Amino acid sequence: MEEDITKALKEVDVPRFHREGTSTSSWLLLDFSGVIVHLFDPKTRDIYGLERLWSSATEVVRIL
């Protein structure tokens, strides 16, 4: 997913500025400046509850 997202955004001139995590970690953060992408496994998702923390933010897209 990381590669597909990075490639798709690069094709529309949205470069990735920063990346945190590794391909074997339970959470990756991809920073495209105006867009932040979180990729994480179900257990980590439950622990951090980002949907709860960001519940008032506008959801652009959700991939389950």
Q: What is the pLDDT of residues 3-58, one digit of tens each?
A: 999 999 999 999 999 999 987 889 999 999 988 998 989 998 899 887 788 888 88
- pLDDT reported for residue 20: 95
Give me the pLDDT at residue 48, please. Answer: 87
Residue 64: pLDDT above 70?
A: no
> Using CA atoms, how far apart are residues 28 and 39, in angstroms rounded to an integer?
5
Q: Which residue has the higher pLDDT, 12 or 64?
A: 12
* Residues 51 and 59: beta-carbon distance below 8 Å: no
- Distance separating alpha carbons of residues 11 and 22, to the nearest angstrom: 23
Whole-angstrom Cα Rg for the chain: 12
Topology of domain 2-53, CATH: Beta Polymerase; domain 2 (3.30.460)
